[in-house]
Structure 1
Amino acid sequence: MHFCPSCTNLLLVECGAGQGGESCLVCQTCPYMYPISRPFVARTVLKRKEVDDVLGGDKAWANVDSIETQCPKCRHQRAYFMQIQLRSADEPMTIFYRCCNPECKYNWKEN
């Protein structure tokens, strides 16, 4: 992507817009034109963002209460729970669970 140096809008490729019928990069809002005299390729490898843990990671589960419920993965009878407001205020809170079994630690949410 190339941007106009005068108004910073995105430049579009227009075939035959330049002098002699050559292709140009053209701004749609101002009269800026940049003739394309030779093929050019630019590749930028974007750095991926790290995925944020929605539930806050292990620290968020440090001081939460537990409840008697069955883990769907290991069938352990106790799980930690946390309520988080994910949607608008008129929607109910979402309840997230984490298995109390230290070997499992499976996370799930209430349907």
Structure 2
Amino acid sequence: MEFCPTCGNFLQYELPHMGRPARFFCPTCPYVCQIEAKVKIKKKQRLVKKEASLVIPEKDTENMPKIDVPCPNCSHGKAAFQQHQIRKADEGPTTFYKCLNEKCGHQWSGD
């Protein structure tokens, strides 16, 4: 989508006609933007996937509800959990778990 730098309206596309190249034009003011045949890549940027860190503070696990669920790290059978709505409202909440094994403390999430 392109917008007019003069008045801010949505630019409309005009097909090439009689040797004139395709272009964008503003329907309310005389602004016209010619479309180049080649696409220019201004800057390449490498996307780096960041590791998500789930943080449930140690002191908060005392007041959190507990559940019988095996830890994927140490197989301990109990974990504290919290639920948060992190996606759209029509989707279920995500449950965040923290292993109650003092030597482990692994945190993970599940739907």
Report the TM-score, using the length of structure 2 for normalisation: 0.52
Structure 2 unmatched runs, 5+? none
1:42 maps to which of 21, 30, 40: 40
Decide whether the 8 Å contact of 2:3 with 2:11 is kept in 1. Answer: yes
Matched, 1:57 2:58: no
Summarize deviations over 1:14-64 as a string: whole Å, max 9, x none.
2235xx54122222443422345x5342224468697695xx733x33322
After TM superposition, the structure 1 = structure 2 runs for residues 9-88 of structure 1, keeping only pairs within 5 Å, are: 9-16=9-16, 21-23=19-21, 24-36=23-35, 39-44=37-42, 45=44, 53=52, 57-58=54-55, 60-65=56-61, 67=66, 69-71=68-70, 73=72, 74-84=74-84, 86=85
What is the deviation of 1:96? 2.9
Aligned length: 100
Decide whether the 8 Å contact of 1:27 with 1:33 is kept in 2. Answer: yes
- Give me the whole-angstrom Cα distance separating, in 1, the residues matched to 2:48 and 2:7: 29
Structure 1 unmatched runs, 5+? none
Write the letter of the residue equivalent to 1:57.
L
Query: Counterpart of 2:4 in 1: which secondary structure?
Result: coil
What is the deviation of 1:103? 4.2
Report the TM-score, using the length of structure 1 for normalisation: 0.52
What is the deviation of 1:98? 1.7
- Give me the whole-angstrom Cα distance separating, in 1, the residues matched to 2:68 and 2:83: 15
What is the deviation of 1:3? 3.3
Query: Counterpart of 1:71 in 2: which secondary structure?
Result: coil
Summarize the Cα distance change of 1:7–1:40 in structure 2 as closer, same or farther, 3 Å threshold.
farther
Decide whether the 8 Å contact of 1:11 with 1:26 is kept in 2. Answer: yes
Decide whether the 8 Å contact of 2:71 with 2:99 is kept in 1. Answer: no
